[in-house]
Structure 1
Amino acid sequence: MVAFSSTLAIAPAEIKIPATLKYVCVALYAVNLTLCLTAYLGHAWIYDKNGLGIPTDFISFYAGGRLVLDGLPAQAFDWEILKQIQVAALGRDFAGDFPWHYPPPFFFVASVMALLPFSVAYLGWALASLVPYVAVMRAIVGHDFGIRLALAVPLVFVNAWVGQTGFLTAALIGSTLYLIPIRPVLAGICLGLLTYKPQFGLLFPIALIAAGHWRVFVSASATAVTMVLVSWLAFGTESWLAFFHWLPSSSEAVLTDGRATWWKLQSLYAMVRYFGGTEQLAWVLQFVLTASVAVAVALMWRTRLPYALKAGVLAAGTLLATPYIAIYDMVALAIPVAFLVRIGVRTGFRRYELPALGSAVVLIAAYFTGTPTGLPAMLIVAGRTDPCSFRFVVAA
């Protein structure tokens, strides 16, 4: 195992996992597995009892990939055309829309999905994106317990059920942060790939500049530019023009009109709108939060505090800083938790830390009641990264 700093790595034998933490993770993992099996066997996942495809977010990727294979990638951004392809793929009509919101580079992933039968692509995507997420969690914790921690996150089931990108987003954020001190060029590549969801890259340039990680910064920039150029060559100028043409409509639908329903978004902006606040008030409060987090990240990354602590703060801040974070994106909250667990299993948890993380789990699970409880869960995790504690100064 490679240490995050100049201190020597601690051998797995010296790592002590609290029994309570072990039992809770096993229970949550069992719940996730049971829910997945129940949904599939109960015809609530992928196919219904009549053998027709169930409309979820995944159909957006699959239909977009079909249009790419047909040589019409730009049409994926047109809501009406995309829905026609979705209806044909599912064999049924459905209410609402599952639009394509991603920049053209994500067409590479979608086109691979569309080469496969619907059910194979659905399960394959869930498993293929789950593997790097689990691997990153294992690497960050530095112990096999990281695997159990990854699978215990309540939103594992939600992300797999709707076939979304939560695992991939978490894997890229986690990989970037894990690799910065040891493989800066590779870390930059991971960060550049994260531009498929640019709203999660707001704080990384600030942290990299503050800490002087210029190799990561250059590598990430080069990767992002390469993705733009390669996708332009592969999918044409029309695909990028369509992306920018439809971007305001997508933003208006999600962030202004709330067509996705506010409780499915977990930002401060969405919470203000959920409780009846105006759009202007929501933007002001979100800007204040984002600016505050950005300042905190910049100041912390200029210090000599342990890297695991700084990485945890940046991971948590990344989620707080964006107004557009859906419930499945909250899988990435496992990354700051993994850094906190990395510190805790080596230096000991403070008495209130595990109960606090437990309350964050309860808040996330409360999502099933139709309430946007992700924000307080993020604040709890962010609050655990307390730089004032001397304990962190000696952590690896």
Structure 2
Amino acid sequence: MKMDGEMDQNDHWLSRGRVRLYSFLMLGIFLMLGIGFVRYSNLIDPKGYSIYTDLFVFWGASHFALTEQALDAYNITVFSNGLRGMLPDWQALSFGWFYPPTFYLVILPLALLPYFHAYLAFMLVTLGCFVMVFRHIIRGWESLLCLAAFSGLWFNLFRGQNGYLTNKVRS
């Protein structure tokens, strides 16, 4: 018999209702941060250059490959100088291309788009594939809510990383 305020041994503090509540709260926080990021970050600076994200390296390498200079992307000096020419405000950075040549098959279409459109296309396509695989593993709208409240999903999206393709589960 339970007394007031006591929990049954089958009750857990992290109930289904709390998971939903915490997920909605985190999703709300990330959406507010995302809106603030888009609104106040000037995704395109006054000179017309897109703000640098990690996807810039993929976009740049795709340009190297499209102009038959794919091998030059593996030379850090040549690659860095080429990318600095594409985004002059980032003179201090040194860029490297550390992906296998087969990754060019994934990124080559990016060179056909302006940087911001390439960013949107790459992130939306890879996120869509990630969610599709996730849905095959875990069913239910609550699992999608938990995924949407996961900070790694948003960090990957805002930084333009390839984590939706390269995540790996460790056991």
Q: TM-score, normalised by structure 1?
A: 0.37
Shift of 1:49: 4.4
What is the distance in 2 between the residues matched to 1:66 and 1:156? Answer: 27
Identity percentage over the alignment?
25
Q: Which residue of 2 aligns with 1:109?
A: 106
How far did residue 97 of structure 1 move? 2.0
Match for 1:40: what amino acid? V
- Structure 2 residues not aligned, in runs of 5+: 1-14
1:126 corresponds, among 115, 123, 126, to 123
By relative contact order (CA 8 Å, sep 6+), the higher-ranking structure is 2
Please show how residues 216-295 of structure 1 align to structure 2 within 5 Å. none
Query: Which residue of 56, 62, 67 maps to 2:64?
Result: 67
Hey, what does 2:7 align to over in structure 1? none
1:22 aligned residue = 20
**1:136 equivalent in structure 2:** 133
Distance, in Å, in 2 between the alignment partners of 1:125 and 1:98 is: 20
> How many Å separate the matches in 2 of 1:94 and 1:55?
12
Cα deviation 1:93-140 (Å, max 9, x = unaligned): 332223111100111122111111110001111111111112222222
Counterpart residue number, 1:32: 30
Asked whether the 8 Å contact 1:55–1:94 carries over to 2, the reply is no
The letter for the 2-side match of 1:152 is A
Cα distance change on mapping 1:91 and 1:101 into 2, 3 Å: same
Q: Is 1:84 matched up with 2:81? A: yes
Q: Partners of 2:138 and 2:144 in 1: how far apart?
A: 9
Q: 1:94 to 1:160 in 2, by over 3 A?
A: farther
Aligned-residue CA RMSD in angstroms? 1.9
Structure that is richer in helix per residue: 1
After superposition, where does 1:49-64 map in structure 2 within 5 Å? 49-64=46-61
Residue 154 (structure 1) aligned with residue 151 (structure 2):
yes
Q: Which residue of 1 aligns with 2:9?
A: none
**Structure 1, residues 166-193: CA drift from partner, whole Å, max 9, x if none?**
11123xx5xxxxxxxxxxxxxxxxxxxx
Aligned-partner SS, 1:92: helix
In structure 2, the CA distance between the partners of 1:168 and 1:44, relative to structure 1 (3 Å rule), is: farther
**2:8 matched residue in structure 1:** none
In the TM superposition, what whole-angstrom CA distance separates every residue of 1:321-342 from its partner, at most 9, and x where no partner exists?
A: xxxxxxxxxxxxxxxxxxxxxx
Residues of 2 paired with 1:84 and 1:110: CA distance? 20
Q: Which residue of 2 aligns with 1:346?
A: none
Distance in structure 1 (CA, Å) of the matches to 2:91 and 2:112: 23
Deviations 1:44-88 (A, max 9, x none): 54x234432222321110110000000111111111221222223
Cα distance in 2 for partners of 1:127, 1:114 equals 16
- The code of the aligned residue for 1:37 comes to I
For 2:71 and 2:97, the matched residues in 1 are separated by: 10
Runs (4+) of structure 1 exceeding 4 A deviation are: none
Distance 1:58-1:158 versus aligned 2 partners, 3 A rule: same
More divergent stretch after superposition (156-165 vs 118-127): 156-165
- Do 1:66 and 1:111's aligned partners in 2 also have CA atoms closer than 8 Å? yes
Alpha-carbon distance between aligned partners in 2 of 1:21 and 1:41, rounded to the nearest angstrom: 30
Structure 1 70/94 Cα, relative in aligned 2: closer, same or farther at 3 Å?
Answer: same
Give the SS at the match of 1:316.
Answer: coil
Aligned twin of 1:190? none
The verdict on how the C-alpha distance between 1:94 and 1:148 changes in structure 2, with shifts beyond 3 A counting, is: farther
Distance, in Å, in 2 between the alignment partners of 1:154 and 1:80 is 34
Matches of 2:17 and 2:33 in 1, distance apart?
24
Unaligned runs of 5+ in 1: 1-16, 174-314, 318-396
- C-alpha distance in 2, partners of 1:32/1:49? 26
- Paired with 2:31 and 2:92, the residues of 1 have a C-alpha distance of 29
Conserved in 2, the CA contact under 8 Å of 1:83 and 1:98? yes
Residue 167, structure 1, aligned to residue 167, structure 2 = no
State how far apart, in whole Å, the 1-side matches of 2:123 and 2:32 are: 16
Conserved? CA contact 1:68–1:107, under 8 Å: yes
Q: Aligned AA for 1:68?
A: A
